[in-house]
Amino acid sequence: MIQPDYTRTEIDLRTAVTGWRLWVRLGWQDVKRRYRRTAIGPFWSTLSLGIFMLTLGILWSRLWKQDIRGYLPFLCAGMLPWVLMSSIVTEACSVFTGNESIIKSMWFSFTVLSCVVVWRNLIVLGHNAVIFLVIAVICLVPVTANTFLVIPGLLLFCLNALWITILLGMVCSRYRDVAPLVTSILQIAMFVTPIFWAPAQLGAGRVNAVLVDFNPIYHFIDMIRSPLLGNAPTLWTYEAVMMFTVFGWLGTLALFSRFARRIAFWI
């Protein structure tokens, strides 16, 4: 029976909190390194995403006979948090195995490495947000008091993204088959989650309950999408996210306290 090492967990978390300048700088450096010697840097991914959303927005608004001025902001506001989430989850699978040389050569906070992943993708989100700003101005998306709810929504999103990164980093270090499984799940989740379509299009029933009410991915997306569109997320969305946050962190800390010392051997 492996005994939990809560002291090591506390030190690991405290190092990430007090050493925030380290993971902030590492995140910036990663973004700069990825787009070194390019003309517009990270805006290449923004341009690619913008073309993708514009093409789908025009096509699907015609297929579903919806007003493009309403559908295009809806699509863009949903794609921004989805791209953020899918990128973090994908990179989380290799957050520890990708830093094998650092972990095996010196003591390094695993939480710091996880913070780098989340922060790096937040920077990319900031670039991608330019797309929504342009679409919001063109399509006259209203700015209301609910718009400012995007701030606590992002904070809750990042709080959950951190424990998900730590958990997936551990699991994928031990079981290498989990990473391709996660990729496959994300591909399916992109279409069964209300990102390209509205929940109202499903109507009432069990399918709606499974794909909307009890779909945590939907609640994380809607927590950001609704404020961007000038609306307030439902109370159930915040309740679901808070439950996911509490139980997610409790489970992750329990596993991390037991197996953090073994990660260096797994990778």
* Domain ranges across the chain: 6-266
What pLDDT is attached to residue 62?
86
With tokens 């863009």, the residue in question is 76
pLDDT in tens, 14-33: 999 999 999 999 999 988 88
CA distance 88 to 81: 11
- Burial (CB count <10 Å: 0-12, 13-18, 19+), residue 169: buried
- What pTM did the predictor assign? 0.93
Q: Which amino acid is at 218?
A: Y
CA distance 39 to 9: 42
Tokens describing residue 199 = 């929940």
Contacts of 244 (CB under 8 A, 6+ apart): 160, 216, 219
CA distance 55 to 171: 37
pLDDT in tens, 107-149: 899 999 999 999 999 999 998 999 999 999 999 999 999 999 9
